[in-house]
Chain A
Amino acid sequence: MPIRQKIFFLTIAVVLLLVILELVRRRRLRVEYSWLWLASALTIVLMILRYDLLIWITGLVGAVIPTSTLFFFSILYLALLSLNYSVRLSDLTRQVKELAQEVALLRAESSSSWGAPAARPPDPPRASAK
């Protein structure tokens, strides 16, 4: 890899790293999510410094040119990332639903003239019977 290219891509990778660290520092990015981004940035740095590693992986997976390897893994990585976001979104959707219902129920309770819930709790769910 020509030195000019190396410097250019290294600069980008370092800026990316700094942005991630700054986001974590300002608590804009939760620490538990940041490791993924840090790992991504460090991978880029590693690929720049050790181009032979990429060539080795290319041989390993049986690809012809290193660029294909790079693109393949980048796309795979992005796809997995989206999948991960979908899972998180599903969780959040359920949580928002539960919260919205809870808010509505509490509001109904506090504003109603119908009184508090029955003193006796409802029957335990037999739904849990094995």
Chain B
Amino acid sequence: MSERVLVVIPAWNEAANLHGVVGELRGARPDDDLLVVDDGSTDGTAELARRLGCRLVELPFHLGYGAAVQAGVKYGLRRGYPVAVTFDGDGQHDPADVEPLIEAVRQGADVALGSRFLSPGAYHGGLFRRAGRRLFSLLLRALTGLRLTDPTSGLKALGPRGQTLFALARFPDRFPDADALVLARRARLALAERPARMRQSHNRHSMHGGGRAVAYTFNMFLSLLVAAAGRESDLRG
């Protein structure tokens, strides 16, 4: 088994940011394998990834963030990577935060999350966002017994068991979130959290903007209940 780390970079029309993201990752982590998952982009993201010399998984059409990440995780799983890191393609993550997550996985965590709220000078957002986050945090604690501060984080490191869970056919494939963590807990995976800085996202299609926030909250709530009350057999794929 290779001891290499696979960095999965989901990218949907990120041609403008991908160059910077890949450059930064290469600078900070020259030994890692970078895999760009092109999620049906129309702006030449795949072409750019190829030119940058990244590994590339090119989805035939747009599937959405969760499914793109999942495709990358499947790639890692099939090649037997001991650690797969998910790292958003829009430049919001900092490569310097990857190492502590990998360390957490090496120390036995199956899923290690980068949290915005554990780092100094953290971003906290407006009143509603904070309230919403607090609600989910409490709900998550009630369901898993874990204190996790940032379940929405796109920066994660997954060990083999974490990868197996994320690759399940019935894994939440919209935006893996608190529901994913509830599933992880039910599958008896070890979860960990490490501080991570998040930059202002360049993302033009942010998933938590405006009126969608309400729909998102509602969906998340349902999805959480489904994750908590779902069938045991769904945890086995």
Q: Which residues of A contact B (CB under 8 A)?
A: 94, 97-98, 100-101, 103-105, 107-108, 112, 114, 117-118, 120-123, 125-129
Contacts and interface: CB of A to CB of B under 8 A. Distances in A.
Nearest to B71: A101
A93 to B, nearest CB: 9
Interface residues of B, number: 35
B57 A125 contact: no
Nearest to B1: A120
B80 A118 contact: yes
A40 B163 CA distance: 47
Nearest to A94: B169
Contact of A125 (B59, B169, B170, B237): B237
Given A104-B60, A123-B164, A125-B236, 18 more contacts: A100-B63, A101-B59, A101-B71, A103-B60, A105-B75, A105-B78, A108-B58, A112-B56, A118-B1, A118-B78, A118-B80, A122-B78, A122-B164, A123-B161, A125-B237, A127-B168, A127-B187, A129-B188
A107 B63 CA distance: 17
Contacts, number: 82
Contacts of A117: 78-80
A123 B76 CA distance: 12
Interface in B58-84: 58-61, 63, 67, 70-71, 74-75, 77-80
A128 B78 contact: no
Interface string B1-24: 110000000000000000000000
B164 A104 contact: no
Contacts of A107: 57-58
A100 B70 CA distance: 11
A97 B66 CA distance: 11
B224 to A, nearest CB: 18
B56 A120 contact: no
Task: Give the most central of A104, A105, A107, A112: most B CB within 10 Å.
Answer: A104
20 contacts: A97-B67, A97-B173, A100-B61, A104-B57, A105-B71, A108-B55, A108-B58, A112-B56, A114-B55, A117-B80, A118-B1, A122-B160, A122-B164, A125-B236, A126-B164, A127-B161, A127-B165, A127-B188, A127-B236, A128-B236
Nearest to B76: A122
A84 to B, nearest CB: 20
A91 B75 CA distance: 23
B2 A118 contact: yes
B71 A104 contact: yes
B235 interface: yes
A129 B67 CA distance: 25
Contacts of A108: 55-58, 75
Given A108-B56, A108-B57, A117-B78, A122 B163 contact: yes
A112 B55 contact: yes
A104 B236 contact: no
B189 interface: yes
A118 B79 contact: yes
Contacts of A97: 63, 67, 173
Contacts of A123: 160-161, 164
Contacts of B37: 104
